[in-house]
Amino acid sequence: MQTAIAPQELRPTVMEVDLSALTHNLQCIRAHVGAAKIMAVVKANAYGHGLAECARQLAADGADYLGVALVEEGIELRRAGITKSILVFGGIWGGQIAHYLDYDLDITASSADKLHAIDETAAASGRRARVHLKIDTGLGRIGVQWDRLSPFADAVLAARNCDIIGVFSHFATADEADQTFAREQLRRFHETLDYLRSRGITWQYAHTANSAAILTLPEATFDMVRPGLILYGVAPGTHLQNVLPLRAAMTLKSKVVYFKVIHAGQGISYGQHFHAEHDTRIATVPVGYGDGYFRRLSGRGEVLIRGSRHPIVGNVCMDQMMVDIGPGGTAYNGDEVVLIGAQDKETITVAELAETLETTPHEILTSTNLRVPRVYL
């Protein structure tokens, strides 16, 4: 009879997720926002950390709500036994609505037509739909435009099978140093709430503060906040890194699986874009863009081996990459290689990689795919 094999026994490349860091970060956010409810955002596989595992931890730690992007994410959480209220942020099409009702998921209503479809489906099934009204205050993605609310309010008042749980919007620039447009969005959201109240519409939660707004706009707290990135210990901008004492939850690591000496002039990897200037030592690491590690880090990124930084040389391959440890460097097969995280006194952060690649920390966190096993600490 075959016995179960731990993921880390099959692959030297793993993502370690420190669940106690999630607990710590949630506590920091709770202390920062006071009495407001917290909707823990676990969309995109909990920002790459593992949907069910992180949601289960955050629910146990006292998160009031969970937020996902897709109905299938909500269904996965229900099938995992999670009973917390779950809001699905994304836009809907008619065929999905019954699944929201079947799995007791809160629905985003982003137009009068969609709200009507939700109401009709709920009526036909003999159930009530839990709805959050989505207002576009400037992001331009989905939602009723803040200055065109009258037909939408009519639809809300006509919906007999919907419970209005929330009204929400989303900031476009809360992570930037210039808060001018974020404050304009906040003004528009206040105006929206005032108008809906004037029409006799009520709700439980107004919510618009994402991670950045939690750190920069305390006046945007309202009844509930929606932390995402900061739950996983990553600030949404370098200027916001010290607002809360966050702890990174993720470490991406692998091991040296091959070691060789190459001579001056010898090339490495596809395209032969790197040629050694002198005799040096090269370690091969079994991780590549097939795992979601960025090919754009070819010749630009670094890893940690034995507590020191070493450059990636040559093109990152689909399954492997090469690291120059220098003519006097030492590495052995099985040595730990850290791609994101700490080793001894050195750390490679998500923010560092985002800056190198001129992208957001969100892309870094969510890029590691499911071929890389998650190991929960």
Q: Which residues are part of the catalytic machinery?
A: 43, 270
Cβ-in-10-Å burial (0-12, 13-18, 19+) of 107 comes to: buried
Element (H, E) at 101: helix 97-102
User: What DSSP element (H or E) covers 43?
Assistant: helix 43-47
Distant-in-sequence, close-in-space partners of 366: CB < 8 Å, separation ≥ 6: 44, 45, 47, 48
Here the tokens at position 377 are 């600490």
3 state SS of 28: helix
Beta-carbon contacts of residue 74 (< 8 Å; ≥ 6 apart): 68, 86, 88, 100, 103, 105
d(CA 137, CA 218): 18
Q: Determine the Cα angle at 366 with ends 360 and 368, to 5°.
A: 120
d(CA 237, CA 241): 7
Classify the C-alpha dihedral 242-244-245-250 as positive or negative.
Answer: negative
- β-pair type (267-268, 274-275): antiparallel
d(CA 247, CA 232) in angstroms, rounded, equals 7
Provide the residue type at 250 as one letter. Answer: M
Half-sphere exposure of 187 (CA within 13 A, CB side): 6
The two three-digit tokens of residue 308, written as one number: 């020191």
Angle 150-158/180-198 helices, nearest 10 degrees?
A: 50
The helix or strand, by DSSP H or E, that contains position 337, with its residue range, turns out to be strand 336-343
